[in-house]
Amino acid sequence: MLKKKCDINIARTIDLAHKMIELAQTGYEHHDDPGCGVLYGILLDSGYKILDLAEKEKQAHILKGWWVESIDKGTI
């Protein structure tokens, strides 16, 4: 379990980005008009961009040793 608030927020952001991507894919499959297609296209693009940034920030924390320090040793 993560302890540091900054790491928790990064993990939550990654989870949110995955949910955005999932919603965009589902919404696009069921869209009825071009406006919805644009909406879900933007949501999908944004989800991937946010995910990329959050994963890079997670990697930066791992390289600094912060992410590892933030994890309980009993849960690994």
The domain limits of the chain are 5-75
Q: Closest Cα partner for 11 from 44, 54, 63, 62?
A: 54
Tell me what pLDDT residue 76 has.
Answer: 39
Tell me what pLDDT residue 74 has.
Answer: 46
| Per-position b or e across 16-28, b if 16+ CB within 10 A of its CB | ebeebbeebeebe
Tell me what pLDDT residue 66 has.
Answer: 86
Tell me what pLDDT residue 71 has.
Answer: 65
Tell me what pLDDT residue 48 has.
Answer: 98
Name, in order, each residue with C-beta under 8 angstroms of 44's C-beta and a sequence gap of 6 or more: 20, 21, 24, 25, 28
Sites in the chain below the pLDDT cut of 70: 69-76
Q: Closest Cα partner for 69 from 5, 19, 9, 17?
A: 5
